[in-house]
Amino acid sequence: MKLKDARHRIMVVSGKGGVGKTTVAVNLALGLAMYGRKVGLLDADITGPNVPRMLRLEEEIFSPQEDGTIRPAFLQVGPGQGIEVASMAFLIGRDSPVMWKGPVKIQMLQKLTGDIDWEELDYAIVDLPPGTSDEPITISQLLHPDGVIIVTTPYDVALLDAEKAVDLARTMNTPILGLIENMSGFCCPRCGERTDFKTGGAEDAAARLGITFLGRIGIDPQICDSGDSGRPFMLNAGTAAAREFDRIVVGLIERLEAPDHEDNDR
């Protein structure tokens, strides 16, 4: 099947780089798979594809099948559970820079969304580069997503750019599933004491903008280590980050799979 035919299609975006957008996309895909959903994850960051590193898929390459179709990589995360993954890195390798202008990037996004043969998917998660330019606009036009999740930190400079992502979604008439505040305060991994030196900015912004606040993920050194080691934090059950993100995943499932679901956040 083509990615546009997935039952639910979700864009994960940010107005600013460095806020943990790819971390959210990867763990969202894994979290949905852990609840038995069939999930595809598209790394649509053409010039900086980081999903393979976070999933230990850096050696993967696209290999055409006998019928000429291209299949995504498959990552098993448990008995009968896994996600399909496609990335620009599977074409060019992990060390090659992509020095392309906008029109060429758009053509590649058309290929990544149209030429890959996915299994039947309940959810297609698309990790996009930061900003409000070619990639999010093109994916929105190609896939007509069910919604967009915006990732930010609680700091003013990130929130300003997050508001631009909200404006983009509304301009493209794409429903906004909500805002996630990443790097929210600090929870000591040893004693468990939480230091809220900066929290709440995203929740206040969501209320002001009239969109849903999905939750907050605290600063935790284990999150950085898990991403670098290729074992995302959702696989480390029992941690504060995994518990909070599990709550976010469950909320999204209940919301998107409700029989009378109609998202009016624009």
Q: What is the pLDDT of residues 22-39, one digit of tens each?
A: 999 999 999 999 999 999
CA dihedral 6, 9, 12, 15 (to 10 degrees): 130
Is residue 265 in some structural domain? no
Is 131 a member of any domain? yes
Residue 43 in any domain: the answer is yes
Distance CA 170, CA 104 (A): 26
DSSP labels for 114-182?
HTB-PPP-SEEEEE--SSSSHHHHHHHHHH--SEEEEEE-SSHHHHHHHHHHHHHHHHTT--EEEEEEE
Predicted local distance difference test score (pLDDT) of residue 235: 82
| pLDDT (0 to 100) of residue 15 | 87
* Residue 266 in domain: no
The range of the structural domain enclosing residue 86 comes to 3-256
**Contact indicator for 249, 149 with CB cutoff of 8 Å:** no
pTM: 0.91
In a domain, 208, yes or no: yes
Within a domain: 196: yes
* pLDDT digit string, tens, across residues 63-111: 777 777 899 999 988 787 899 999 999 987 666 777 778 889 999 999 9
DSSP 190: T
* 177-197 mean pLDDT: 75
Domain count, the chain: 1
Structural domain contains residue 116: yes
In a domain, 262, yes or no: no
User: Domain of 96: which CATH number?
Assistant: 3.40.50.300
